[in-house]
Structure 1
């Protein structure tokens, strides 16, 4: 990050009363006050629950010169578009009005976060989703269909199997604009996309998951473990 950008952020947030008065714990999350400066992000503070693998980060994005909030849920990280603004005073108003609700929704599933289209899918009643194993090929069922998670661009996480020790996962999404299910894997948090699970409805998705998900999970694990070995040997 450019030095003049860092100086600008420090000047704007110096003595920021809102940040100074934040609670140390909030809806199960602990406040991390230490700033973190990255390549193009300046994290002002974050609320983190490591056991839940969830965090909400308040930051300045150098690429767009805007203040933003990004969420990390499992391995998936995304910005909440309703908080994006270039002015700190406006940012504070948005935080006061909406940030606590974001933490509450991360701490406990809130059906109000679902669009009418997603509710129309009847995911809570989907028997296949209810029968998904809590552990599958060594992956933990982190997000289940009965409690989908809204992200960006009209997409929801419907299924998320994660191995946090390998930073690898298999995720199924639904997009309300395309009215389509699709999937993505992550190997050491690097996305790997195929189209084997693209489906237009739950029946088609169920058929593809039943026949293809075990092999896909095995493949992701194999690749992740191979890369782990390569990293290990490369460091010796």
Structure 2
């Protein structure tokens, strides 16, 4: 038997009792109804906190025929790796069970931390970032090391400068599996890779953040200026 068409999934939303069980408000997030189909994605429902620039979209994708939550924090948009399900009822059951956790992970008013693998790097005692300006031109300091964002594939975003008006961004992340620090740009919302701020895994842990600080001092201002060029 083939997979159901995305339009069939959309048509079935009106009879899905799961949607009636979702709370209207939870942890500062407000429930919004389906926004329909966009490309290969059906938006089933969303929880949104506009003041924090965070949202959780419950989606179905015909790319992989899965139901999956989609997380957004600022310009970071990524799928919840632990909740891919083709079975609609199983997806509904687990979303209802884990909704408080999912929203807590997005809630920037709550404090978050990295896994124990990152302790040897010394993020908790890194004073340098406090000297960074809260704004650089159109960019605002959105994510800081005292409240990192658990991202994809073992990475934690710990610094993020974003120009939300133009969707330009630089973010810095630490990957617990590769034991390395790296950065990535977005220009008009399009990701751009860079090695400009790389701190490889073979650098001693106690030296990693000092090396990063030197790279930020040398390159950050110009990198942000360059992103503004079309």
The verdict on a shared fold, with TM-score over 0.5 as the criterion, is: yes
Contact 2:42/2:61 (8 A) holds in 1: yes
SS in 1 for 2:184: strand
User: Shift of residue 103 of structure 1?
Assistant: 0.8
1:203 to 199, 202, 210: 210
Q: How does 1:46-195 map to 2 (within 5 A)?
A: 46-107=46-107, 108-111=109-112, 114-195=114-195
The structure with the greater share of residues assigned to helix is 1
Q: Return the TM-score normalized by structure 2.
A: 0.89
Q: Return the TM-score normalized by structure 1.
A: 0.87
User: Shift of residue 50 of structure 1?
Assistant: 1.7
Contact 2:168/2:186 (8 A) holds in 1: yes
Contact 2:6/2:42 (8 A) holds in 1: no
What is the distance in 2 between the residues matched to 1:31 and 1:37?
A: 18
Question: What is aligned with 2:9?
Answer: 8
Contact 2:22/2:96 (8 A) holds in 1: no
SS in 1 for 2:220: helix
User: Shift of residue 3 of structure 1?
Assistant: 9.1
What is the distance in 2 between the residues matched to 1:137 and 1:178?
A: 33
What is the distance in 2 between the residues matched to 1:121 and 1:102?
A: 27
Gaps of 5+ in 1: 228-236
User: Shift of residue 21 of structure 1?
Assistant: 2.5
2:220 to 194, 213, 216: 213
User: Shift of residue 170 of structure 1?
Assistant: 0.9
Q: Paired residues, what number?
A: 220
SS in 1 for 2:85: coil
Runs (4+) off by over 6 Å: none
RMSD: 1.8
Contact 1:129/1:146 (8 A) holds in 2: no
Q: Which range moves more in the overlay, 82-91 or 113-122?
A: 113-122
Question: What is aligned with 1:234?
Answer: none
